[in-house]
Each structure stands twice: as C-alpha cells, then as structure tokens.
Structure 1
C-alpha cells in the first residue's frame, strides 16, 4: 500500500500534538485561544441564518450561549455563579463588571440563560470581525465608536432608553481596557452617567482573578472562576453630581468580593 509523504507528515503532526500540549506552555496557551476563537466563530457562522429571522433580538444570545458555553469545557475552564437571584430578575439594569481577558465572554455565555434578556456594550471594531461581528450585531450588541465621544454618548443614551422600555439588561466593562493584574482598576464614568440619566439601577458583577492566565509568559492552565452578582444599587433621584459617589459605592462593593472570591478559589485548589 502506497503512503504519501503528506499522509506521513499529517500522521506525525497528530501524534506530536499531545506531546506539545503537555510539554510546551506556550503551545498550550496559543492552542486554547485558537480553539476559543475558531469554535465561537464557527458557531456564529452556523447560527447566522437563524438570527437573520430574529434581527437584533437579544434572546439570540441565549441560543448562542447553549453552544458556546461548551468552549469552556474544551479549554479547561469552570465557572461558578453566586448571587443568581439578582441576575434572573426581569428588570432593567446596567451591569458593571471587571474586565480581565477576552475569556470574560465565556463567563457571560454561562450567564445568559440566567439573565435571559441582556446585551453588551462593545467597541465598534468587533463588528468587522466576521463571522462573529455579524452574529453579534444580529444579537443586538451595542457598538460604540470610542474615537468619537459625542457619537458614543448618543448611542449609549439611545441604548439606555431602549433597554428601559424592554426590561433588558445592559452589560458594561467600566474599566475599559482588559487588566489581569490581580486588582480592580479605575472605572470610567460613562456607565454611571448612563444609569443616572436613565434612572436604571447598577448591578455589580465580579469575576474572581484569572490566576491560571499569564499573557506575558504565555501561560494558560486549567482554571476555576467564581462570578458573583451583587445586589443592585438604586439610582432613583440621583443626578449628574452623584456620579463620583456612585462609582465609589460600586467599587467599594466590588473590591472586597474580588479579593475574597479570588482567595477562596485559590485556597480550594491549593494554589
């Protein structure tokens, strides 16, 4: 039986993969992120024809989550939710969450069946990353142009009025840039101005630290993450003058939970 060099190289590559996965930290890091991107993009591609008949329906995200949440298992992540009762209420909230990595989205896929109606504020550049960007648009994500602050404010104001009328939640990462440094970084004011102007409560959500991830050293191990939804913070009666105090109140609730939940997870794993 004739065997081509191509077949030999392919077979050798397949046999080499487990060895590289176990022995190379960098290979494991890149393989997990590639798996994440490829699988989610494939799911976006196959669901797009379904979403076309439900344009900008935020419950499309619930459908997507039932498939995408399995990516966490593939790359060795386990999400644990506390405070479920706060997320499952049929009410409008501005959800503010700490932002550590693109992996945060996988945690959200675990939460969407609980939240039911929730959309996300995302940077405009994601819209052009097809097929994911197209599927995200069909799911009703709110895209903002961070280079045009006036247009961004207008978009956010319209989004706030829409979610209020539809009893929908709006997820915002107030830190802006991702920071996996073991601490909460300063919050930008946009989400809090929005919550006050629309008189929508703030709902803090805290991810425990990604101790298993180190981008600088290309390390991505198996991990467990605790997500804690805290009681909503009312904004009724507040004005623009109260933005700073609202930010401080929100951070003062989130910071202790971030540190304690991170310690709890690491203690449970003996890290």
Structure 2
C-alpha cells in the first residue's frame, strides 16, 4: 500500500467506497476488502449503510487503529447542534468512538458555512474525528473555509476521473497541504471500455480500470475510493501497486480530461471551470 502523509494523517491512497452498497452485501464486501488488505473505508450517513460497515469492522479482526475510516454529514444536517447529533448517530452505527476523517458531504447555501465549520471543528476537538474535511466544495468555498474561517481541513472529496478535470481544486489543495479524495474514479464504469485506457492496460497486462486507478494515484495528494460489489473487483482494484505508467502514458491520459461530470444534483454548488 502507498500512503498520503499530510497534517498528521497517514491515509492509504486506495480506499473502498461503499456508495450504493447496502445490507448483507455491504457488510460482506467491507469484510472481504479488509481480508484482502484494504485499510481505508469510506461511508456516509446518506448511504444508509453505516450500521453494516460497523458490523464488518467489528467482526474483521483488524485493529481499529489500523483502519482509516471516513464518514460524511448530510448537507441538511450541518447546522450547529444538528451536526453534532448526526455525528453521534454515525458513531453509534459504526460501533466506534471516533472516525479518522469526518466530512461535510455537500455545501448548503442556506446554512452559514462558518457555523457548520465551527461545529465540525468542535467534533474534532472532542476527539470524535481525528481529521475533518469537506466534500463537493469548489475553490471559492475552500477559500472561504480555510482563508476566511481559518479551519484546518484535511481534504476535499470530489468526483475525479480521466474525463473530468479537477485542476483548480487540486492546485488549491496542494498549496494548502490538503489531499483530494476521488470518488467515482472510474466514471461509473466508463473508464473500463475506453480505447486509450484499454490499450495502455494491454501494454502492462492490466485492465483499463487498473490503469485509471494507477493514473490517479500517481498524482501528488490524490487518494481514490472505487466501489466494488464483490471480491473479484476488490482484488482487481487492489492489484495496482506492481506496475508504473510511463510519462508518455500519463500524458495520453491527461489529454482525455475534460468536463464530463456525472454527479450533479440540484443542490450542487456552481462548479469550477475545468
């Protein structure tokens, strides 16, 4: 495993995303992932699977301190008081007294950002979150959080894959010693059949998905959390640490980046230009 080491956090660069996993399948996948060597698990209140993740963690036999666990507070619950109550609910479901990273899942223009960040910082001060951050924040929102409100954030979790540039966000995060967590890193499966990625994969005896993950993790301050629905994909996603892309191959993939955004709900902020 490779790691991002920033602000006292040692984050496995490859995590297991659990979005759209539920019930017994979620618990089974998380448990199988831990058995294979995954040590970074990502969930959220809105996924409605924190309880299953907690069951898997408790029964895994892996020491809690060896797991980097992330959850997120839903954007409708980030007001002071409500945010803290929400975190307590998550900790109960996850069967732990802390998470390693706690994120605001989406910004909410109806709730003052400073108030939400203050509540988030209080949770950290209470030891219920070792690190705090945000998700789906633009550069403007990151600037407000860090430069206006002075909150020490660890990361921004955003959609990031070869077809969506996140250069403005990445530049800001790197300049503030923060990391980017890439969700939907294989573009909901689109990367799996892209001709360029498939051709590069053939040269290494790897799949297009493995090439995509390797491209992401070759970038400074980038972590990826692909979802896997079973052991086959868990294993395949994990087998990316035994090869390297050439400079020319990375440049080819870089040239694919554009503005192909797949996650854009009605409550999303005004995104940065590519």
Alignment TM-score, normalising by the size of structure 1: 0.31
Query: Which of the two has higher C-alpha Rg?
Result: 1
Alignment TM-score, normalising by the size of structure 2: 0.31
Q: Greater relative contact order: 1 or 2 (C-alpha under 8 angstroms, separation 6 or more)?
A: 1
Answer 1 or 2: which has greater helix percent.
1
